[in-house]
A and B are shown apart, each in its own frame.
Chain A
């Protein structure tokens, strides 16, 4: 099955700095990669996603890049704010299947 690895496990940045979280996947058949944000005690919420026919996608301060050849994808958050502090999870799936494989999470701490 698919194996998704995520780094780093914790990330601390100063408010206003950028944060980058990286994930790798093992199954070249995976073609859909969502990112979820989970605040303490709450449900994971989809924040951005990318498909394998696209190399980069942006949504305001958030962007995701995908390198199919290397089988890795990254989340970029610019101009970080304290409310960005949360655990972020990457995931991978094949669009014709309904199962997601999640990374182990990155705890982001944005210091004011």
Chain B
């Protein structure tokens, strides 16, 4: 049973370009969460999605960031017109329908570097 898969592991983008980060949840999981970790800091919640539905996007910056989790395929976190401050590690996690209050498993993350 493969864990949460994220790709790419490393992504370098020039300022102004777009970044697309992918997350495939564990088999049987229908909920996906994205967190951002700035250098030397803790993880900050960004968005929580179910298939074809955004449940909570209270942690998403108001501009340039968007997320989706289509019926088929991985969840995508999209950052338009990247700036240096977007450089961070982005982690995805997944859970089954009923998390029942347990911690979830993170993917290996995508480390975005904006140059």
Query: A residues near B, CB below 8 A?
Result: 6, 31-32, 34, 36, 42-46, 49, 51, 89, 91, 93, 95-96, 98-105
Contacts and interface: CB of A to CB of B under 8 A. Distances in A.
A101 B103 contact: no
A101 B44 CA distance: 7
B108 A101 contact: no
A99 B43 contact: no
A105 B41 contact: yes
Contacts of A51: 101
Contact of A43 (B48, B55, B59, B107): B107
B95 interface: yes
Contact of B42 (A45, A46, A96, A103): A103
Contacts of A42: 108
- How many chain B residues sit at the interface, stated as a range, is 20 to 34
B109 interface: yes
A84 B99 CA distance: 28
A76 to B, nearest CB: 18
A41 to B, nearest CB: 8
A2 to B, nearest CB: 10
Interface string B76-115: 0000000000000001000100011111111111000000
A5 B15 CA distance: 33
